[in-house]
Amino acid sequence: MTMIRSWIYTILFLAWSLFAAVIQLPCLVTRRGALGGTRVWARGVMFLARTVAGITFRAEGREHIPKGPCIIAAQHQSSFETYKLFLEVENPVLVLKRELIFIPFIGWYILRAGLVPIDRSAGPKAMRRMLRAADAAVARGAQILIFPEGTRASPGEHKPYRPGVVGLYNHCNVPLIPMALNSGYTWGKTRVRKEPGEIVFKYLPAIETGLGKQELLAKLRESIETAAATLPKPHAQ
C-alpha cells in the first residue's frame, strides 16, 4: 500500500507541478510574483504529501529566526526541505546547486523567486557570485538558506561542510541559525517511496559571531547533529 500511495503521489506531484507552472507564468514578471507562485506550488506539494503520502510536518524553535536578515544553515536529507523552506520564512533566498535551474518550468520560478545557483566547479568565482547575491539579500532583509554539506545526505551520513557557509558567516555579519531535520527517514534521498510519518524541522539558537573557520564548522556540526539525534526516527533501519 505504501508503494502504491508513493506512486500516486509522484504522478500527482508531476501533474500539479506542470499545471501550477503553466497557469502562473505571468507571475514570473517580478520576483515577488515568482515567490508567490512558488509558494502556491509548494503548498500544493505539501497538501499532496499530507493527504496522499501520509507525511505530516512540525517545526520547533521558530522563535530563533529573527525578523530581519539572517542565514539558516540546514541539514539536507531530501527534496522536502527545498520545497518547504519557501513556506517557512518570510523572504527566502536559497543557495542551491546550479543544476536545479534547468528543471523545466519549476527551475524558472525558483531562480526568479530567490535561488542563488552555485556552480561547484567554478571555485572562487562561485563564491564571489554568492557573496554578491548575499549582499543584495541582506540589503532587502531576506533570509539566506544554505545546506552546508552542499548535497543531500542520508540520516547518519556525515559529509564535509563546504566553504560557502563560512564565506556567508564571515561576510554578512547577520545571525547564523542552525537547523536540524529528519526528512530522510520518510521522504528519502532519491527514492520514489514515501513512508508515512512526521517530518520535523528544529531551528536552533544563533551561533555567535567572530569565530574562526574551524571553530565555526565544529560548533555548527555539533549543534545540528546534537539536535538531530533528539528528533523522531520513523522507519529507521
Q: What is the pLDDT of residue 124?
A: 77
Looking at the predicted structure, is the pLDDT value of residue 211 above 80? yes
Q: What is the pLDDT of residue 12?
A: 96
Using alpha carbons only, give the angle 58, 60, 61 rounded to the nearest 5 degrees.
155
Task: Look up residue 159 and give its DSSP letter.
Answer: -
What is the tens place of the pLDDT at every residue in 80-124? 998 999 999 988 888 877 666 667 667 777 777 777 777 666 667
d(CA 170, CA 130): 13
Q: Where are the domains of the chain?
A: 56-228
Q: In the chain, at which residue ranges do the beta strands (DSSP E only) sit?
A: 55-60, 70-74, 92-97, 115-118, 143-146, 176-181, 197-203
DSSP-based helix, strand, coil % in the chain, nearest 5: 50, 15, 35
For 56-228, CATH number out of 3.30.830.10, 2.10.109.10, 3.40.1130.10, 1.10.3720.10 equals 3.40.1130.10
Residue type, 145: L
Q: What is the pLDDT of residue 236?
A: 60
Q: What is the pLDDT of residue 108?
A: 75
What is the tens place of the pLDDT at every residue in 35-54? 888 899 999 999 999 999 99
What is the tens place of the pLDDT at every residue in 115-133? 777 766 666 777 888 888 8
Dihedral, CA of residue 103, residue 190, residue 17 and residue 108, to nearest 10: -20
14 neighbors 104 (Cβ within 8 angstroms): no
pLDDT band (50, 70, 90) for residue 161: very high
